[in-house]
Structure 1
């Protein structure tokens, strides 16, 4: 029975390790995206099974000392391994399945320097269209053009500073056109989302529009909207 209990403890800890490895293995191209998600799914199944069995073993066998500590640790690991993907799933089901977010959905900023970098990306560089705009307005009505009393030059420099502070890779800038293009990379899976910022003067005010688009995936799980909100908040 001790051997079986040891296996259960190992499986509980393993579930969290597999969850953590799914992203890095995809980044290293050792797994395809589908393979990484499959690993993620089976790790969750393992976490559920190992977690339940470890809880039962903890109350039935009542281990003492180090084994009791390892049992609790395995239960905690199983819970974390289940909770992290579960929260992502909950978020995914609460937002529309879109991946192209812009403060201006009528005339969204266009990617120029980044366009060649997206040549082989599953999601094309062109704006996703009216249906995406409709879903965005329903889900993220607060994401609109930023209006400032500052001059285009001042706002451009401020926007560039914020983009750098957010850790984005600056791909191209244009002092004359007041345009910034950058790429943001997610931590876990290393997904690359591209950002373009357009600044222009209009009727005595300065307008800033920002667009963030994922290279892969039908749904961005709300990440692009979150990124734009964070940028505008810091601005």
Structure 2
């Protein structure tokens, strides 16, 4: 029994380490994202195992007092290994399993320059249609075309500046077509999602629409919608 606190610590440490490398490994292309997701799931199982062992240690008075230097770190590591994947799963469950989000579901901006690149990945460039639009409207009713009180030429400049400030990799800038295409890379897993921005004139004002689409995965866990929100907020703040 005296080795149990150390075993609990090692199990919890293994779970935390697995969680720590799961995302960066995908980002560094050491393994594919399904493997990274499986590693995160295994990290959760190890975390639960660590918590169970810590509980046993705590219930044994002699171990609880003498091995506090082992089981307290084990408790913290195990809690992290369980909580972070659970939180990510719960966040994903709150949104529909879609990955193509746009401010204009009737006439969404289209990819041109990135179309060839996107052809190498599972998710298509063409908008998937009304069923996805319906799910988006229910989940993200706040996403809509942004109207800027200035001419389209100035609106396009602001849209481009905001895209650059977001840290996106700009792939195409077409002022005549009012189109900007870019690629955003997520922090943890390094997923590359593509964005197309369209700026059109409406008398003396500008209409800005944005579309953000994942290259892989059925669900984006709300990432594309949040990206569009952040971009539009930044664009409005420029005014």
Q: TM-score, normalised by structure 1?
A: 0.94
Query: Is contact 1:92–1:222 with CA below 8 Å preserved after alignment?
Result: yes
Matches within 5 A, 1:69-148: 69-148=69-148
In structure 1, the gaps of 5 or more residues are none
Give the CA deviation at 1:77.
1.3
Aligned twin of 1:62: 64
Query: Is contact 1:58–1:68 with CA below 8 Å preserved after alignment?
Result: no
Output the CA distance in 2 between the equivalents of 1:83 and 1:159: 38
Matched, 1:160 2:160: yes
Query: Is contact 1:174–1:180 with CA below 8 Å preserved after alignment?
Result: yes
Query: Is contact 2:151–2:204 with CA below 8 Å preserved after alignment?
Result: no
Query: Is contact 2:54–2:71 with CA below 8 Å preserved after alignment?
Result: yes
Aligned twin of 2:226: 226
Query: Is contact 2:5–2:70 with CA below 8 Å preserved after alignment?
Result: no
Matches within 5 A, 1:200-215: 200-215=200-215
Give the CA deviation at 1:152.
1.4
Matched, 1:16 2:16: yes
Output the CA distance in 1 between the equivalents of 2:155 and 2:69: 55
Q: CA RMSD in A?
A: 1.5
Give the CA deviation at 1:226.
0.5
Output the CA distance in 2 between the equivalents of 1:107 and 1:206: 16
Query: Is contact 2:152–2:204 with CA below 8 Å preserved after alignment?
Result: no
Query: Is contact 2:101–2:136 with CA below 8 Å preserved after alignment?
Result: yes
Give the CA deviation at 1:93.
1.0
SS of aligned partner of 1:172: strand
Output the CA distance in 2 between the equivalents of 1:89 and 1:127: 26
Aligned twin of 1:187: 187
Give the CA deviation at 1:2.
3.3
Output the CA distance in 2 between the equivalents of 1:230 and 1:29: 27
In structure 2, the gaps of 5 or more residues are none
Output the CA distance in 2 between the equivalents of 1:69 and 1:35: 33
Q: TM-score, normalised by structure 2?
A: 0.92
My pick for the range that moved more, 217-226 or 148-157, is 148-157
Output the CA distance in 1 between the equivalents of 2:69 and 2:126: 54
Aligned twin of 1:34: 34
SS of aligned partner of 1:2: coil
Output the CA distance in 1 between the equivalents of 2:176 and 2:69: 63
Matched, 1:175 2:178: no
Aligned residues: 233
SS of aligned partner of 1:127: coil
Give the CA deviation at 1:119.
1.5
